[in-house]
Structures are given as structure tokens and as C-alpha cells.
Chain A
């Protein structure tokens, strides 16, 4: 009986979590425009989706920003993690607080503060500012996934490389970085995913002319939802799901 209750509870939780998404996916195959009535199976909205230039443009913005932000924040984050790791206890603790703070801050605060910064420095908001914002919020996550790998390293490994004749640069690229490869890849994927599904910060740091998918969906939702956005959301969900599965498997196998 208890076993049944346990399973039932788990089932309920999963149902509440996933039924909305399931409805969305089902709706994306609905032939009619109504959201209440099933009018037969169709790929109509998927076809329309890939003919809508606004959506395709937003998709391009989203993906290109995600890739660029991932690359830049992975490099920055990895180097920062190595630097933080080499610090003494007290400055290290300070740096870790500074790293953790943006992660715990609500996105809306980060978004508004970045917006104010760009206005204050008279930088026109658009593609570049959105990219900078994404790099900003991605980097701490990379640091947090690389740092544990550095801590696991034998602390004499780097010294051993120097001892064997490696310059600090050679030791960094041939000993330190290969050993935290797992953390770097996980961090990069995390950065990509976070960038892909960010709405709040993007909303405040771009102009209406440069829209990514989430800001586009938000602005069109006010006029009534175009069912092709259902199709798009379904695709995004699947893509993120796959990425997340890969990240999870990586972290699981690394432990």
C-alpha cells in the first residue's frame, strides 16, 4: 500500500510537470487554429514556422548568441577558475562570493542593471549588448563547473610539469586544462543551455529590432499566440531536453 502511495505521489508530480508540455506538443500538431478543439493531425504549423522570416531570424539570433556566449564564457570562466584556484584562502573565498552572487540574484535584477549600464555608457542596445549580457551571466556557471575539477587535481601535478621542463604556459595547456576537460565541457554546455532559454535578461538588454526567440514569443503572445510558436516551443523543448540529458550523463559519469 505504502509502495503504491509512493508511486502515485511520484506519478502526480510528473504529471503536473509534464502534462502542460505534452499539451503544447500535441497542440503543435493540431490542424486548426483553435487552442480548445482538436481538428486533426497536421504539420501545418511546422511548415509555417520555417517560412516565417521573423521566427527564423530570431532562431538565428538565439543560436548564434548561445554559441558565441558559450565560447567566450567558457574561455573566460576556465581561466578565471584556474586563477581563483591558485589564490590564497581569503581572496579565494571573496572571489567565490563574487562568483556566486550573480547566480543567486534574480534575473530581472541582472537584466535591469545591465540595461542601466548600457544606457549609462551610451551603448546602443542590440545584438552586441545581448551577447555581452549572456557572456556575463554564463561565466560564473563555467567557473563553478571547472573549479571542482581543479580541486580534485593532485596539487603537485602542475609543479611536476614545471619540474620536468615545461614552461608555465605548456603546463597549463598540457596538464591543467586536460585534467579539467570534463568540467570545461559541462560548463560550456550549461552556458549554451542557459543562454538558449534566457528571456528576462535578453528582454532588457536588446532592442525591439534584434529579437531572440524568447523575446519574440513574448511580444507576439500579447497579440495572440500564433500556433506556429507552439511548433517552435515544442522543437526548443526537445532540443533542450537532449542537451540536458547529455549534460546529466556527463556529470554522472564524471562522478
Chain B
């Protein structure tokens, strides 16, 4: 199966530091030319996973396969992967050209060939003519580009990126997201990307791996992860959500917040406790008399594209995004179409 598909396989990977389990039985595969993102809050094990693939950590147990061959004890300088580090880790004693040429010099290439490749890379990352600059004289975004060029020039099979855009401002970050995605598609290199920014993950990835506490919670493409989160944690982490405790009355009927709602989920059994997840943009505000739920608007915040309203409905306060504003304190009705009610097994915390 892996022969034509899987480039990297992680099988039952565990990692412990001084008895603390950082990774608990990670199983994951990465296909050629895929853009995979490890997404999760800090401390979830995403960077450790990346460092194991890069060769900077050895798994406590489990197998790491590269094109089917076990490589967990191969040193980093013998792996066909390159890493773009958080905070860049450029060599401050070398200029831009020599930073990018570092890997090529080790391959004993001729000076002419090196210069040619470095120039091509500077073109690729839009830093033409910056070769002689000192790396400390560059802006954060430019340093980031040098770091990417320094890795890509070695033509790795896989590029590992550890929160590479974390230190950039929002606008630059969005630009770089698109550029990186574009680069990945043009060069046809596999990217394994680590981030805690769910929007970044949704924008760039072919596959998202959501992690928490050393476990993988869900693997899927961005749309699936957003629309069908596997549990309340994923739902909450990927975008904003209202997470409510409910009861599945029977197939396709759920009870929460004091009302009964038709939904599309089934197979939970009768009167089973469930988590109900509703995105704030999926709640429609209607007249008080026609709503499935009725609530009082507690607060209204202007967010640019929409208004964010907190609405008290009995024991719950629901977050609602709407493009039309309702005055604070007014009574409104809330409607949710069956398709937008997501039912999940309650998460054991």
C-alpha cells in the first residue's frame, strides 16, 4: 500500500520525557505532495512529532518509516527532509547567500552551480539581490523567506515547518500563507506544517491532523474537519462553536436548552446523552413568536463582517453571528436548521 502512496508512516509512535508521556500512540501517514498540518494548542505534541520526523528526537517506541524504511535512528543530516524552524534559526555569522548555500556546500557542489541555485532560490522567495545582505539586517518576513529558501534549495522530499509564520504580523502572515501554498504546489514538495492557528490550517492544508495532549483527535480535509468535527474539542478549536449538553431523544431528534430539534444524526440510541455543537453563524435570528428557542440579547459586539451577540436562552448563553444588529436587551427567536446541528458522543475529559 505504501509503495505508491505513503511517503512517511508513523506507527504507534510514543515519546516520553522523564516519565511524562508527550506522544501517546501516534498513527499517521503522509502522502507524496500532500500538505499536511498538525494543529493543536501548545503542548499537544505537534512540535515533538515534527522533531521526530526531522531526526531531532528519537521516539520512545513505535516505528517511523520513510518510503517504507525504518528511520527513527537515522541522524538528521542523513534524512531527506529539511526543517524551517520557529524563529528561523538563520546563521547570524553568514550573509543571505552563504546561509542558503550552506547545505549545497556540504554536497560539494561547484561554486558556479551553488551560485546559480542560490540565485534561483532568491528569485523564488522574492529576495532578488539580497545575497550580500547580513541576515540580522533583514525584517522578520525576509528572514523567514531566507529560512525557507535555505531549506528548499536542498530539494528535500519533505519540508517540515514549525510554526514558521508565528512571529509575523497578521497581514504578512496571510500573504505568506498563500505564497507557501503556491510554492508547495509549484514545486510538488510534501509539506508537513505545524501551527496552533486554525485559520492558517484551514487555508493551506490538504489534510489537517488535530492533536491534543499527545493524541490525534481527528484527521481529515479542512472542510470535513470544520463541518464534521469528531468531538466537541475539535469543534471548539476549529472555529467558534456553541457546545451544549443534550439528549438524543431518538434518531434525528435531539433535545437541548429546553427545546426539541429535528436533526440529521442517528445511531446514538434512545435518550442517550450527547454533545451538541452549533456554529455561531448557523443560528438564525427570527421573530420572538416563530423561534424554536427564545432568548434575550445580553451583549452586542461589532466584528467587522458581522455582529457577535451573546443571547441568554435559559441555562445557556449562545453565541450568534449575524449581519443584522438587534438591540441589546431585546427578545428574539432563534432557529437552527437540522443540517447545522452537529451531534457528538460526549467527550470524556
Contacts and interface: CB of A to CB of B under 8 A. Distances in A.
Interface of A: 154, 156-157, 159-167, 170, 175, 178-179, 181
Contact of A164 (B75, B92, B103): B103
B316 interface: no
Contact of B102 (A159, A161, A178): A161
Contacts, number: 64
Nearest to A154: B89
Contacts of A163: 54-55, 76-77, 81-83, 151
A159 B89 contact: yes
B85 interface: yes
B272 to A, nearest CB: 48
A154 B154 CA distance: 22
Interface in B208-254: none
B91 interface: yes
Give the residue among B82, B85, B91, B92 with the most A Cβ atoms within 10 A: B91
Contacts of A162: 55-56, 75-77
B305 interface: no
Given A156-B86, A160-B90, 5 more contacts: A159-B56, A162-B55, A162-B56, A164-B77, A164-B151
Contacts of A166: 77, 102, 106
A160 B85 contact: yes
Binding site of A, secondary structure by majority: helix, strand, loop or mixed? helix
Contacts of A154: 85, 87-90, 92
B112 interface: no
B89 A164 contact: no
A178 B93 CA distance: 7
Interface string B93-124: 10000000011001100000000000000000
Interface residues of B, number: 25
29 contacts: A154-B85, A154-B90, A154-B92, A156-B89, A159-B54, A159-B56, A159-B83, A159-B89, A160-B85, A160-B89, A160-B91, A161-B102, A162-B75, A163-B76, A163-B82, A164-B82, A164-B102, A164-B151, A165-B103, A165-B106, A165-B107, A165-B154, A166-B106, A167-B77, A170-B106, A175-B91, A178-B93, A179-B92, A179-B93
B87 A160 contact: no
B150 interface: yes
Give the residue among A159, A167, A170 with the most B Cβ atoms within 10 A: A159
B148 to A, nearest CB: 12
B91 A159 contact: no
Interface string B44-61: 000000000011100000
